Amino acid sequence: INAEYMGISSILEQMQKQGFFFVFLMILSMSYADQDLYDTHSDIVKITQSNFDSLVLTTPNMWLIEFYAPWCGHCKAFANDFKTIARSLKGVVNVGAVDMTKDQAVGAKYNIQGFPTILFFGSRSEQPTTFNGQRNIDGVISFVFEQMKSLVDKRKHSGGSDSGSKRQESTKQEGSQDDKDVIVLTDATFNANVKDSNDLWIIEFYAPWFGHCLLYTSPSP
């Protein structure tokens, strides 16, 4: 009886601190502890309270993240489509998912109240964009491309970038250019960076003495 009383008291205390919604999720998580919509072998990264900041907020990578609950009927119906979306965007945008019955704190700051909720995070973005379109494969992928174009346009007009992944930093150690946004590829680094990776690349093959190459490196007016 004492244990039951302490459990009820704990729930009541949590209700006072966090509000009914997140306590409701906590209670439901007990029933769905062994169930999950996405396994570790899928193209969807499991985002938790312990890795959210390091993977999403403090890196230059773009993320599409679904906030879901395993008991949610809409989430179950959307799960296969989201797996297809993740597979289609692999190497273009990172795709992750947050189980809100286990990691409520991740979604709390974004006022997640309904499931599934899909957010797009630009590089080091504290203010994500919410997907409000039709929840299907084409609709979500089109949304991602729109967000990517918007981010690229902002970088283009600002004249700068916050890019700088670990791969880029390690490549830059060999460095032969001052431009931090351009990775100089050589015979020694081409395979490891391009052929043996899942990343998409746009590569210029140039000669430093060629006039058009010199013009192309100058910023447009």
pTM comes to 0.72
> Rounded distance, CA 158 to CA 151, Å?
11
Q: In the prediction, which pLDDT does 148 show?
A: 94
What amino acid is encoded at 136 in this protein?
A: N
Name the percent of the chain in helix, strand, coil, to the closest 5: 45, 10, 45
Q: In the prediction, which pLDDT does 179 show?
A: 64
Q: In the prediction, which pLDDT does 98 show?
A: 97
Model confidence over 193-203: pLDDT tens digits? 998 987 888 99
**What residue spans of the chain are helical by DSSP H?**
2-18, 20-31, 52, 73-88, 104-108, 137-158, 166-172, 190, 211-217
pLDDT band at 20 (very low <50, low <70, confident <90, very high): low
- Residues 101 and 69: beta-carbon distance below 8 Å: yes
pLDDT band at 17 (very low <50, low <70, confident <90, very high): low
Q: In the prediction, which pLDDT does 23 show?
A: 54
Q: In the prediction, which pLDDT does 176 show?
A: 43
- Residues 102 and 48: beta-carbon distance below 8 Å: yes
pLDDT band at 79 (very low <50, low <70, confident <90, very high): very high
